[in-house]
């Protein structure tokens, strides 16, 4: 099965990317797996200033899931421009890199985008409007606040001609509407979904499993939430959708693709196995070949809810 696609004006050798926050800026992971064999990677979210992140423990394992509260730890705009982007330019020229961007205010998003836009070596930006672990925000993540979402996407759109993805949160009343809003303000695509806010308490100590208390839930337990979000968004927008949440194998990726995603991201599975995404690429091709499917593009959005299928069969 052919896995190549042209999206955002460039070629993706396959639909599998690494998710933000699970591969750093690529350098460490590149020593154990071939990142250039992937469709691309998304960097850790970059903020104006360096962030040390939240108190340990920052991750906890649950049945079928992981909780994290990293707290946006990253080296900050200047160090990313000086140290990380040159490495990406030299080593990941043959894959597509999105730089994830985060901030407390619209101006902070704009500052990071402005500070990196002049650099060569990466494809586009993924605006992270949905970090669940940023107490400094003092309010809601922008993905939960439609005027803030609109304002921020519009401001960044006016600054850059690069492909612009917007990463949204699962815990909104209508994810399809949020996706449509982002696209209306100029996003080239949406990434669905970030982690789901959660809290795990040890009954004996009455202490949370994470140093920061609450965190974001990811892994297989999030998958059906993400697939439903992608389907809801695909009913509201024709823009490319990038599906993420709980993908551990080719069949998981296919659920997202059938629901309407043209690209997918592998996140939590990287922690268990740094080669998980590469394996998914190989197995996707084999899955299609076994079924005589020529091109992965024919599967995008091919899910048909039972009722629509029944109605179509009656009229055929
Ligand atoms: O750094 C984090 O704690 C974090 C981020 Br920026 C995010 O977008 N999602 C998440 O689960 N954790």
Instruction: Indicate which residue of 131, 235, 249, 262 is catalytic.
Output: 131
21-74 pLDDT, tens digit per residue, is 999 999 999 999 999 999 999 999 999 999 999 999 999 999 999 999 999 999
- Amino acid 135: pLDDT: 60
Mean pLDDT rounded to a whole number for the chain:
96
Place 308 in a pLDDT band, splitting at 50, 70 and 90. Answer: confident
Q: Please state the rounded mean pLDDT for residues 260-283.
A: 97
Beta carbon of 68 within 6 Å of any ligand 1 atom = yes
Mutate to test the pocket of ligand 1, among 19, 20, 21 (most ligand atoms within 8 A of CB): 21
Sheet strands (E) in the chain: 5-7, 10-12, 16-18, 40-42, 59-62, 65-68, 96-101, 124-128, 164-168, 189-192, 196-198, 201-202, 207-208, 215-218, 241-244, 263-266
Ligand 1 atom nearest to 134, measured from its CA: 3
Q: Which atom number of ligand 1 is nearest to the Cα of residue 128? A: 8
Q: Give this prediction's pTM.
A: 0.97
Q: How much is the pLDDT for 221?
A: 98
Q: Is the pLDDT of residue 138 over 70?
A: no
Tell me whether residue 131 is one of the annotated catalytic residues.
yes
255 lines ligand 1 (CB under 6 A): no
pLDDT digits 0-9 by tens, 205-245: 999 999 999 999 999 999 999 999 999 999 999 999 999 99
Rounded to 10 degrees, the C-alpha dihedral 244/268/251/4 comes to 60
């Amino acid at each position: 099965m052919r896995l190549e696609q042209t999206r955002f004006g460039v070629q993706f050798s396959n639909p599998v990317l690494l998710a933000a926050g699970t591969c750093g800026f690529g350098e460490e992971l590149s020593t154990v797996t071939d990142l250039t064999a992937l469709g691309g990677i998304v960097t850790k979210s970059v903020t104006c200033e360096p962030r040390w992140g939240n108190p340990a423990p920052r991750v906890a394992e649950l049945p079928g899931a992981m909780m994290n509260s990293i707290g946006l730890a990253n080296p900050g705009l200047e160090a990313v421009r000086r140290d990380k982007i040159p490495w990406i330019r030299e080593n990941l020229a043959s894959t597509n890199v999105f730089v994830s961007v985060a901030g407390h205010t619209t101006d902070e998003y704009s500052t990071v985008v402005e500070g990196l836009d002049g650099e060569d070596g990466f494809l586009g930006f993924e605006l992270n409007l949905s970090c669940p672990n940023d107490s400094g925000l003092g309010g809601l993540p922008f993905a939960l606040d439609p005027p803030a979402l609109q304002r921020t996407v519009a401001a960044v759109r006016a600054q850059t001609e690069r492909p612009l993805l917007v990463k949204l949160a699962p815990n909104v009343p209508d994810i399809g509407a949020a996706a449509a809003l982002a696209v209306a303000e100029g996003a080239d695509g949406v990434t669905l979904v970030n982690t789901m806010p959660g809290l795990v308490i040890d009954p004996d100590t009455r202490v949370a499993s994470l140093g920061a208390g609450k965190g974001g839930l990811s892994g297989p337990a999030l998958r059906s939430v993400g697939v439903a979000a992608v389907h809801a968004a695909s009913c509201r927008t024709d823009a490319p959708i990038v599906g993420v949440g709980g993908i551990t194998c080719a069949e998981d990726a296919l659920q997202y693709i059938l629901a309407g995603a043209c690209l997918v991201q592998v996140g939590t599975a990287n922690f268990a196995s740094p080669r998980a995404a590469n394996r998914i690429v190989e197995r996707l091709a084999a899955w299609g070949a076994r079924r005589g499917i020529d091109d992965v593009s024919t599967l995008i959005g091919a899910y048909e809810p039972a009722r629509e299928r029944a109605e179509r069969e009656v009229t055929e």
